[in-house]
């Protein structure tokens, strides 16, 4: 009875922990969805495509007691084509009488080389259009400075004033298009600012936070101080962030020599003690990610956390804004520093490259710190959520990329994205998978820039030598999941015959080709794990097993998104013809004859569709590169008789 009670308690704890994983991810997705509320009103602006931002100096004056910002933004840029105007994204609101609100963003002046420039601040398009002194030729460089002030639009929540324990705070959250609400910028997923300096002037009793390294803190002698941060890595506008309140600061040391760096934490004073305890786990998580992938991408500067007013978090480069300090959230936002900040999704259709990886890395923390059993529970919770509906793809359609709720779908962009990454790891093996991801992160064309799904696929294929077109079509671009039905029967010579079938939940995929793990069970808790390369329905596998099989589980370690799998113990008729496989099929250069270990190949004969003998020999691999496209037949002669197989040459 005690054993049964203990088992029930452990099962209940596992179920509660699994539900917590899903609740945490839904909270994270909800926070990022809120920050993306502007998306429907804005797509990448074609009017900003004619220049490249190389540097920006951001000077802001803010008092957390007042919802207001004044700023001067200096932009260094290179003309990508001949241009007579330069356009920035910058919000501005009009009332019903088409008169500008006095307290919204107002541009005071635009300067270039000490010359005042004409400009038009368009309220409808939220563009600041500046007329240059003369036409700039492609390849030439320029510097413009914009001075402005006002109370940013509150609808999109890019710039927010709130309070904690009666103390005011102002913070920003700009993903994906909220930056334009509070500073003139270029908002797209094609151009990153090569480096940035941020100067925050605020009342001296407050602490200012921004990306990068704090270079100085200057007392201005008038009750204000100016904090200077420098960030020397490329950064998109939506990841630039500031926050100002009465933070307490504590610092942790991370990294491995020579790549050591501080983790600087900006915490509400009333939360300091509990936050210090919770954030201690950041160090082992950082160590794990560095061991699995590479050194923290911004190790020349810092990592850190800044407490702010939402329940989730946001992965601003070098300083994640945190509404709470649970381990799952800490891991998710830290993972984004590699996947989302160092390499940023190149379109919102590819958001899974940000969110799927960040979610999967939080699962790797479960695996690394809690062990395999907890990791299986984590994967099971992901799968249950993914398969709660029959359809849904990881990759977004054009229309879905305009839907904020779809972009930040916890079920698809986060959970299914994460499990697809795990299935790639399962299919390719740990060594190849991790090396491919390291190569992806180190690619000079992607690092500190942008990537799309095909870039990840390229590195996985190049490292593994495996064509993943079928996999990506099934699991990334199309929809649904398989349900497996299996039958196992005992055979002579300590072998078992397994027949495996699947059905699909969505008609966009006709068959999911995957290596399927099964656990064979025997008396006295005996078990053996076997992996079956499942490429067609009705496929049979003859496997060695050192005991009499009494049962079987399909995918016991949750490597595949699937649902309602069943296995039965039966009496199968051994059919060697089903066990002989010609692979690949269709083939281009070579075909291989795959035999169960009880069969010996004596001779193979290759025939054309008209019966012409093309090849005869005892090799299991046959060169078909010189054959014309069409259908061919192979006669396989073995110690158990002759069998005829068909394949297609493409």
**Whole-number Cα distances in Å, 579 to 49, 204, 497:** 58, 77, 10
Q: Give the span between the Cα atoms of 156 and 89, in whole angstroms.
A: 14
HSE (side-chain half, CA atoms, 13 Å) at 553: 12
Both tokens of residue 87?
Answer: 């356009």
* Strand boundaries in 427-578, DSSP class E: 450-451, 482-491, 495-504, 514-522, 526-534, 539-544, 551-554, 566-569
H or E segment and range at residue 368:
helix 352-370
Alpha helices in 219-342 (DSSP H): 272-279, 282-292, 327-335
The verdict on 435 and 396 lying in the same domain is yes
The verdict on 603 and 537 lying in the same domain is no
The verdict on 192 and 83 lying in the same domain is yes
Taking alpha carbons only, the member of 342, 353, 54, 42 closest to residue 187 is 42
Q: What percent of the chain has pLDDT over 90?
A: 78
Residue 101, Cβ neighbours under 10 Å: how many? Answer: 15
Q: For position 156, what pLDDT does the model report?
A: 60
The verdict on 602 and 566 lying in the same domain is no
Give the largest CA-CA distance in the chain: 97
- The answer to whether residue 210 scores a pLDDT higher than 50 is yes
Both tokens of residue 220?
Answer: 């201005």
Q: How confident is the model at residue 4 (pLDDT cuts 50, 70, 90)?
A: very low
CATH number of the domain where residue 436 is located: 1.10.390.10
Q: Residue 549 in 3-state DSSP?
A: coil
Q: What phi, psi does 337 have (nearest 5°)? A: -60, -30
Residue 466, Cβ neighbours under 10 Å: how many? Answer: 15
Domain final residue pick, 522, 544, 574: 574
CATH number of the domain where residue 199 is located: 2.60.40.1730
Q: Residue 205 in 3-state DSSP?
A: coil
Taking alpha carbons only, the member of 296, 234, 266 closest to residue 56 is 234
The verdict on 193 and 245 lying in the same domain is yes
The verdict on 605 and 512 lying in the same domain is no
Sign of CA dihedral 442, 443, 444, 448: negative
User: Into how many domains does the chain fold?
Assistant: 4
Domain final residue pick, 574, 589, 624: 574
The verdict on 117 and 225 lying in the same domain is yes
The verdict on 388 and 498 lying in the same domain is no
What mean pLDDT value characterizes the chain? 91
pLDDT one-digit tens code per residue, 130-170: 999 999 999 999 999 999 999 997 666 789 999 999 999 99
**Whole-number Cα distances in Å, 479 to 77, 241, 250, 471:** 43, 36, 46, 12
The domain of 261 spans: 43-286+294-335
The verdict on 402 and 489 lying in the same domain is no
Non-local (6+) Cβ contacts of 276 within 8 A are: 250, 265, 267
Non-local (6+) Cβ contacts of 203 within 8 A are: 63, 64, 65, 223, 224
pLDDT one-digit tens code per residue, 243-279: 999 999 999 999 988 999 999 999 999 999 999 999 9
CATH number of the domain where residue 509 is located: 2.60.40.1840
Q: How confident is the model at residue 109 (pLDDT cuts 50, 70, 90)?
A: very high
pLDDT one-digit tens code per residue, 338-354: 999 999 999 999 999 99
Kindly tell me the number of DSSP H helices and DSSP E strands found in the chain. 12, 36
Report which DSSP code applies to 224: E
pLDDT average, residue stretch 401-420? 94
Domain final residue pick, 438, 459, 477: 477
Residue 19, Cβ neighbours under 10 Å: how many? Answer: 13
Taking alpha carbons only, the member of 610, 603, 605 closest to residue 628 is 610
The verdict on 176 and 271 lying in the same domain is yes
Q: Give the span between the Cα atoms of 163 and 572, in whole angstroms.
A: 69
Q: How confident is the model at residue 378 (pLDDT cuts 50, 70, 90)?
A: very high
Q: For position 572, what pLDDT does the model report?
A: 56
The verdict on 177 and 312 lying in the same domain is yes
The verdict on 314 and 452 lying in the same domain is no
């Amino acid at each position: 009875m005690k054993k049964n009670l203990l088992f029930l308690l452990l099962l209940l704890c596992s179920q509660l922990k699994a539900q917590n994983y899903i609740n945490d991810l839904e909270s994270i997705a909800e926070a990022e969805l809120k920050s993306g509320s502007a998306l429907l009103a804005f797509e990448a602006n074609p009017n900003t495509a004619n220049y490249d931002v190389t540097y920006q100096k951001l000077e802001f004056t803010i008092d957390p007691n007042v919802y207001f910002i004044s700023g001067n933004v200096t932009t260094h840029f290179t003309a990508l084509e001949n241009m007579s105007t330069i356009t920035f994204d910058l919000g501005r609101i009009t009332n019903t009488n088409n008169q500008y609100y006095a307290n919204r963003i107002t541009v005071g002046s635009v300067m270039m080389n000490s010359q005042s420039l004409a400009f038009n601040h368009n309220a409808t398009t939220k563009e600041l259009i500046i007329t240059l002194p003369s036409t700039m030729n492609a390849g030439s460089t320029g510097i413009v400075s914009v001075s402005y002030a006002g109370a940013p639009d509150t609808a999109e929540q890019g710039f927010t004033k709130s309070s904690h324990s009666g103390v005011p705070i102002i913070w920003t959250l700009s993903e994906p298009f909220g930056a334009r609400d509070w500073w003139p910028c270029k908002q797209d997923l094609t151009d990153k600012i090569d480096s940035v300096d941020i100067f925050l002037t605020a009342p001296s009793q407050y602490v200012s936070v921004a990306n990068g390294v704090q270079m100085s803190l200057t007392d201005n002698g008038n009750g204000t101080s100016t904090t200077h941060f420098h960030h020397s890595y490329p950064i998109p506008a939506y990841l630039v962030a500031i926050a100002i309140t009465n933070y307490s600061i504590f610092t942790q040391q991370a990294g491995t020599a020579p790549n050591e760096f501080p983790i600087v934490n900006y915490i509400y004073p009333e939360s300091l003690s509990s936050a210090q305890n919770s954030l201690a786990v950041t160090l082992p998580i950082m160590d794990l990610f560095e061991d699995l992938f590479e050194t923290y991408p911004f190790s020349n500067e810092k990592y850190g956390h800044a407490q702010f007013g939402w329940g989730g978090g946001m992965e601003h480069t070098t300083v994640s804004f945190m509404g709470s300090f649970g381990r799952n959230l800490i891991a998710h936002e830290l993972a984004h520093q590699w996947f989302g900040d160092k390499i940023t999704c190149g379109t919102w259709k590819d958001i899974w490259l940000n969110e799927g990886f960040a979610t999967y890395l939080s699962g790797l923390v479960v695996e690394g710190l809690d062990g395999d059993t907890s990791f299986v529970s984590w994967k099971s919770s992901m799968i249950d959520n993914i398969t709660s509906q029959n359809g849904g793809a990881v990759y977004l359609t054009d229309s879905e990329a305009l839907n904020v709720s779809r972009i930040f779908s916890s079920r698809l962009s986060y959970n299914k994205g994460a499990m697809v990454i795990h299935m790639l790891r399962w299919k390719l093996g740990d060594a190849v998978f991790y090396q491919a991801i390291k190569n992806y992160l180190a690619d000079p064309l992607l690092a500190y820039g942008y990537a799309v799904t095909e870039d990840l696929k390229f590195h996985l294929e190049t490292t593994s030598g495996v064509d993943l077109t079928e996999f990506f079509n099934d699991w990334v671009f199309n929809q649904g999941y398989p349900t497996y039905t299996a039958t196992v029967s005992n055979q002579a010579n300590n072998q078992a015959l397994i027949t495996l079938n699947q059905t699909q939940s969505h008609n966009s995929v006709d068959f999911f080709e995957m290596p399927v793990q099964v656990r064979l069970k025997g008396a006295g808790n005996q078990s053996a794990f076997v992996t079956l390369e499942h490429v067609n329905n009705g496929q049979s596998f003859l496997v060695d097993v050192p005991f009499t099989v009494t049962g079987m589980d399909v995918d016991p370690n949750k490597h595949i998104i699937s649902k309602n799998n069943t296995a039965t113990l039966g009496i199968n008729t051994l059919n060697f013809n089903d066990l002989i496989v010609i692979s690949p099929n269709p083939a281009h250069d070579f075909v291989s004859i795959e035999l169960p270990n009880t069969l010996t190949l004596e001779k193979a004969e290759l025939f054309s569709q008209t019966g012409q003998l093309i090849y005869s020999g005892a090799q299991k691999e046959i060169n078909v590169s010189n054959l014309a496209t069409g259908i061919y037949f192979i006669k396989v002669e073995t110690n158990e008789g002759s069998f005829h197989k068909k394949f297609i040459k493409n």
